[in-house]
Structure 1
Amino acid sequence: MPSFSNKSRTLPVSRRALLKTAGAGAALGLVGTLPSRLFAQEPLKVAAVYTVPTEQQWVSRIHLAANAAKERGDIEYVYSENTANNDYERVMREYCEAGHKLILGEVFGVEDAARDVARDYPDVAFLMGSSFKEDPSVPNFAPFDNYIQDASYLTGLIAGAMSQTKNFGMVGGYPIPEVNRLMHAFMAGVREVAADAKFQVAFIGSWFDPPKAKETAFAQIDAGADVMYAERFGVSDAAQERGILAIGNVIDTQADYPETVVASAIWHFEPTLDKAIEQVKAGSFTAADYGVYSFMKEGGCSLAPLGTFEGKVPAEVKALVAEKEAAIKDGSFTVEINDEEPKSS
């Protein structure tokens, strides 16, 4: 196994702003799917390249799913974290050269380079977090994203009922589709319960800066917010210190904030990863949008248990949440996917 040099880095203000259309004019004539080679008799060699620490919300869910597959004996799993954008391609290539057959990661800031690597290793499958869609010219590269707007909408229903001021603070990392759609879904849920709701929306320009997120949250609380949407780490700390409520995102942190975090939208990466493992082992992995496996009806997201707030959320709101959740799962209700940047109102 080669050694990997990981470096911290600063992410761009907008993932899409620095990206070019992936794969344009670079097709190598690859067609169909990966060669029909079977790996079912032995664990699949999987490697992940992360640009942030594995404790960061988004990446932690990928890491959790990969470790679960490893414990089942389905895969061998190694990873690099805190990989700088300008080092990402090298790390990907070294993992390919080391014989790994499935590469995971998040390539929002290195789209072109990542897809170039995929072209150079047609026998390796790449399952990558991406703002772009699949490209038939790179048949071994499949994008995914955390489309957990279903669960975010449900947390909005709860938040709308729990607020006294109907003033909601929202602190995100960057105004990109992956964040925007969750915020809009939350806001839609809030408005269904509190039509006169006001929202303070801010972005801190970082994926992992808890102190800055906390400072931003304090400013929104000072401006009247009594429920905070904690898209980033640090927001729930501010809410806890000021004695108000918070709504979690991607992971459940209620155990750390038992009197603060009333509800959370949880991302489950297992359906996404398990599908990829199955297809790689069957030799049928191909370019496809794996984002659909984050939908609630696919088991890709859920509302965290209310826990300490089970007896505090009004019964009629819990009934509404159960009704909407059932409708989402059976397809009779669809949460709108809005990728536009949300604004304060």
Structure 2
Amino acid sequence: MTIRKFAVTRRGLILGGGALGLGQAFMPRSAWAQEPLKVAGIYTVPVEQQWVSRIHVAAEAAKAAGEIDYTFTENVANTDYPRVMREYAESGVKLIVGEIFGAEAEAREVAAEYPDVAFLMGSSFLPDAAANPNLSVFDNYIQDASYLTGIIAGAMSASGNIGMVGGFPIPEVNRLMNAFMAGVRETKPEATFQVSFIGSWFDPPKAKETAFAMIEAGADMLYAERFGVSDAAKEKGVLAIGNVIDTQADYPDTVVASALWHFEPTLNAAIAAVKAGSFAAENYGTYSFMKEGGCSLAPLGSFEGKVPAEVMAMVAAKEAAIRDGSFTVVIDDSEPKSS
């Protein structure tokens, strides 16, 4: 387990000022209220992993803005998750953010032990205000952007054979895959899909091997939900669609478009609630919706002008409808199947 700690608090800087220490005793309450909120992140994978990286980037931005004092621990095994939660709660952290998909029950037990600590956790379940009034949940509800990438993917696939590689068939993966497939059918109604899950959040070699098999079976477009898929696409000369982060700079001739997740609206809402003393058990998933600024379609970059103009006009119209509420992308958490 690797622990990285950042940020010197404003209080520490003041105390380190020697003579300024006396003046600090007479600071008004409003000045104390501006001290950065102590926030900790607990992650079961490296912070470079695409899903978790969105949380980490948002927390780093809040730290840089002076809003929070951010510490995090990465590569935490699910069996160690409760222990690390307790350690941070005991250390005076006021907001703990992380993902508990593999430790749902255990994490809730810990949260119940620390009612004065706010917990914002990635979860497949809705919040339970009765059991855990201090635990809110979130997930990457970026189905809006995934749907738009599907429209582009369908238009760019010559064969209509689409390969899709995911981590686990859980709601946060399923809903994005299903939205992508719905988008594909807008421009390629006859499309067929090869769907496979590798049973890991971070196993690029296995994802790459799975993608190779799909290409061998005729796929000319890949949905890269996991790292490793775009590498296979690049090697075999087929196209790919990115998920959560924009990797086109690394695959300029491969990644056509990506559905981006922006965690900042989610984290900022939680920080504001904790500071206001109003944090409660809520579902923060809606902050990932496109109309909330939680997701977007990445710029086409090197594929600008290569996607048919009429397709991009359709994408623009659908995006406008999503943002103004006149069109809603269906949230389908069921496991997608090959077809």
Task: Show the counterpart of 1:101.
Answer: 94
8 Å Cα contact 1:125/1:285 also seen in 2: yes
SS of 1:105 mapped into structure 2: strand
Letter in 1 for 2:67: D
Identity across the alignment (%): 75
1:302 to partner: Cα distance: 0.3
Letter in 1 for 2:77: A
Moved more, 107-116 or 304-313: 107-116
Task: Show the counterpart of 1:126.
Answer: 119
1:263 corresponds, among 242, 257, 261, to 257
The alignment status of 1:167 with 2:161, answered yes or no, reads yes
The alignment status of 1:158 with 2:152, answered yes or no, reads yes
Task: Show the counterpart of 1:62.
Answer: 55
The alignment status of 1:275 with 2:279, answered yes or no, reads no
The alignment status of 1:231 with 2:225, answered yes or no, reads yes
In structure 2, list runs of 5 or more residues that go unmatched.
4-30
1:40 to partner: Cα distance: 3.6
User: In 1, distance between residues paired with 2:332 and 2:157?
Assistant: 24
8 Å Cα contact 1:6/1:84 also seen in 2: no
Which structure has more RCO (C-alpha within 8 Å, separation ≥ 6)? 1
SS of 1:79 mapped into structure 2: strand
2:286 corresponds, among 286, 292, 299, to 292
The alignment status of 1:213 with 2:204, answered yes or no, reads no
1:136 to partner: Cα distance: 1.1
2:318 corresponds, among 302, 324, 330, to 324
Deviation string 1:180-229 (CA, Å, 9 cap, x unpaired) is: 11000000000010110010000111100000000000000011100000
Task: Show the counterpart of 1:307.
Answer: 301
2:248 corresponds, among 222, 243, 254, to 254
Aligned CA distance change for structure 1 residues 343 and 56 (closer, same or farther; 3 Å): same
Task: Show the counterpart of 2:26.
Answer: none
SS of 1:202 mapped into structure 2: strand
Question: How does 1:22-101 map onto structure 2 within 5 Å?
Answer: 40-101=33-94
Aligned CA distance change for structure 1 residues 39 and 265 (closer, same or farther; 3 Å): farther
Deviation string 1:241-280 (CA, Å, 9 cap, x unpaired) is: 0011000000000000000000000000000000000000
User: In 1, distance between residues paired with 2:107 and 2:210?
Assistant: 34
1:6 to partner: Cα distance: 5.0
Higher Cα radius of gyration = 2
2:110 corresponds, among 113, 117, 129, to 117
SS of 1:341 mapped into structure 2: coil
Task: Show the counterpart of 2:239.
Answer: 245
8 Å Cα contact 1:40/1:282 also seen in 2: no
User: In 2, distance between residues paired with 1:39 and 1:215?
Assistant: 54
SS of 1:86 mapped into structure 2: coil
Letter in 2 for 1:215: E
Letter in 2 for 1:80: T
1:111 to partner: Cα distance: 1.1
1:115 to partner: Cα distance: 1.0
2:175 corresponds, among 181, 184, 198, to 181
Task: Show the counterpart of 2:187.
Answer: 193
Task: Show the counterpart of 2:17.
Answer: none
Structure 1 segments of 4+ aligned residues over 3 angstroms from their partners: none
2:332 corresponds, among 319, 323, 338, to 338
User: In 1, distance between residues paired with 2:101 and 2:216?
Assistant: 34
